Amino acid sequence: MGKLVNLLRGYVELEASGAFPERLLNLCAQGQIRFWRLQWLDDTTFVFRVFYQDLGKVNGLAERAMCSLTERSRGGGAVAASRLVKRAGFVAGLALCLLAATVLSQFIWVIDVSGNETVPTAAILSQLRRVGVKPGVFGPSIPQREAANDALLGLPGLSYLAINVYGARAEVIVREADEPPEVVDETVPADVVATADGVLEEIQAESGKAMFADGDVVSRGEVLIAGAVQLFETGSPESKGWLFTRAAGLARARTWRTLEETIPLTAMVKDYTGEEVRRYGLQILWGRWEFFKNSSISDSRYDKITKTVPVSLFGAELPASYSVTTLRGYTLREEPIDQAAAEADLRALLTARLERLMAANGGETLRTDFVTRIADGRLTVTLLAECREDIGRTVELPGQTGYRFDENAAPEGTE
């Protein structure tokens, strides 16, 4: 610890010589002048160190002790500071930089958003801008709680939003709202209609009338569970009207799905020419400058890679950044694809499509087969799948639920 203090305060290493040099050490001790690293070179000469600010006192004591002093070296914080004082321009520039960093660090230049998955970050930043939270605004002036509440009102996809300001950075933490359950209007009548061809394995009507039985073959579009039920008097064929309800129930069937994907047998491949051009950009506050923007290079056959680096001073981000855009030239050539890899990719794509379809219908895949064919310069893969799934879909009818005696109230297609 003492070494660190000595280094920060600054020191001067001196060589003292005289007939009785020990008198100088005695005078330094009487004057409470601290010295260290004492080393005798001979009987009349020694080397020692004193603090930089005590150099003038030691010179006076050396005259009293009739000793001559020779400065060998100096160093430490105080010495460096004394050198900087002589360079007024450098000191002024450093002071201005520190002042700018201190002042600019009170403004918001970076806004980080975390916690969102489905709500776009751009939408959140746009809403924050409307309530006054944006790059360039004075951080301490932001009413964090009120701004968060105002922003949340314009973002129905979020259930929580908090704003925390840390110097030049604003941290925005959000939580997305759960999807509200689907509200079913029970006053609107509906049928349950088949979404695919299949053989019914189980049909159960919770409301309405089942139009088929287990084992029946049904076609896409047929009414499986009717929401319009015709009423008859017991033992009489005379109609007593219609009862309209919102049909619901289970219609599990064995189905056969056919999915297909195709791609060309050739693809365009890039051959890089080795030519590279760099463009530079500078952004300070709200201004941006592009250098070499009017180059004769066309971007149509160049890959563009842009790297943006923020500028910081002593760990604080400044409202400035520079960018380097690299353009890499290439030419295109047509090359045959790897048919085995392409077929594997198409099979994986079709399998994923089938899994999503089964997940939506609460179904399962019983068996799959793939058929591959090449024709007209294209590779086509067909997936044939045997599945078990719920094929019922609700289709609403006009009017409202309830009893209707009018014979003309029969739904379209009912005899």
- pLDDT at res. 285: 66
The answer, yes or no, to whether residue 147 has pLDDT greater than 50, is yes
- pLDDT (average), residues 362-382: 94
Percent of the chain with pLDDT over 90: 34
- pLDDT score for 90: 61
Residue 338 pLDDT: 93
Statement: residue 82 has pLDDT above 80: no
**Residue 282: predicted pLDDT:** 85
pLDDT of residue 293: 58
Of 16-30, 284-298, 359-373, where does the model show the most confidence? 359-373
pLDDT at 228 exceeding the cut of 80: yes
Nearest to 354 by CA among 259, 254, 253, 256: 259
- How far, in whole angstroms, is CA 341 from its chain's centroid? 32
**Mean pLDDT value of segment 154-172:** 88
| Residue 112 zone, left/alpha/beta (φ > 0; ψ -120 to 50; rest) | beta
d(CA 213, CA 211): 7
What is the Cα–Cα distance from 205 to 192, expressed in whole angstroms? 9
pLDDT at residue 271 above 80? yes
CA gap 242, 415 in Å, rounded: 12
pLDDT category at 414 given cuts 50, 70, 90 is very low
pLDDT per position as a tens digit, 281-325: 888 766 778 876 555 555 468 888 888 887 776 666 667 788 888
Q: Where are the beta strands (DSSP E) in 43-168?
A: 45-51, 67-75, 110-114, 158-166
Q: Give the Cα separation of 25 and 253 in Å (integer).
A: 107
Q: What CATH class is the domain 2-82?
A: alpha beta
Residue 37: CB atoms within 10 Å: 11
For residue 194, pLDDT beyond 50: yes
Rounded average pLDDT over 237-257: 88
Q: 């004769």: which residue's tokens?
A: 296
Give the C-alpha separation, 225 to 390, whole Å.
13
Mean pLDDT of 30-38: 88
pLDDT at 408 over 50: yes
Name which residue leads in pLDDT, 22 or 351.
351
> In this predicted structure, what is the pLDDT of residue 21?
85
Provide the CATH topology of domain 88-183.
Ubiquitin-like (UB roll) (3.10.20)
Q: What is the pLDDT of residues 83-136, one digit of tens each?
A: 555 566 666 776 776 776 666 677 787 889 999 988 999 999 999 989 988 887
- CATH 3.30.70.2280 residue window(s) in the chain: 2-82
Identify the three-state secondary structure at position 125. helix
- The predicted model gives 262-282 an average pLDDT of 89
Domain with CATH 3.10.20.310 in the chain: 88-183
pLDDT at 71 over 60: yes
Closest to 406 (Cα-Cα) out of 186, 228, 192: 228
Q: How confident is the model at residue 260 (pLDDT cuts 50, 70, 90)?
A: very high
Q: What pLDDT sits at residue 182?
A: 72
- pLDDT for 399: 84
User: Burial of 258 by CB count in 10 Å (0-12 exposed, 13-18 middle, 19+ buried)?
Assistant: exposed
**Amino acid code (one letter) for 176:** E
What average pLDDT score do residues 75-79 get? 66
Q: Which helix (H) or strand (E) holds 285?
A: none
Lowest mean pLDDT among 77-81, 196-200, 303-307: 77-81
Least confident of 28-37, 76-85, 308-317: 76-85
